[in-house]
């Protein structure tokens, strides 16, 4: 399970960066964050934070790598 403090910090960084997001529950009841129309799990949000990639470019690069 994601560390709640890390998640809160990561979401705050998104908001400070002007990146809009909402949240929803997936079919398994896990919280999913929709960032610029992209569905990301809590773990992915924290991973992006840990890699200093909570920016539009960082998320874009992550998505390219995730699709590969």
d(CA 9, CA 7): 5
Model confidence over 51-62: pLDDT tens digits?
999 998 999 999
Characterize the bridge pairing of strands 38-41 and 31-35.
Answer: antiparallel
Percent of the chain with pLDDT over 90: 71
DSSP 52: T
pLDDT digits (tens, 9 = 90+) for 29-50: 999 999 888 899 999 999 999 9
Q: In what order do the strands lie in the sheet with 31-35?
A: 21-25, 31-35, 38-41
Alpha carbons 26 and 52: distance in angstroms, whole number: 26
């Amino acid at each position: 399970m994601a560390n709640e403090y890390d998640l809160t910090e990561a979401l705050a960084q998104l908001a400070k960066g002007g990146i809009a997001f909402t949240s929803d529950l997936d079919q398994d009841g896990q919280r999913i964050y929709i960032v610029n129309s992209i569905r990301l799990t809590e773990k992915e949000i924290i991973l992006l934070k840990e890699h200093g990639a909570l920016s539009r470019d960082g998320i874009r690069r992550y998505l390219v790598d995730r699709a590969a």
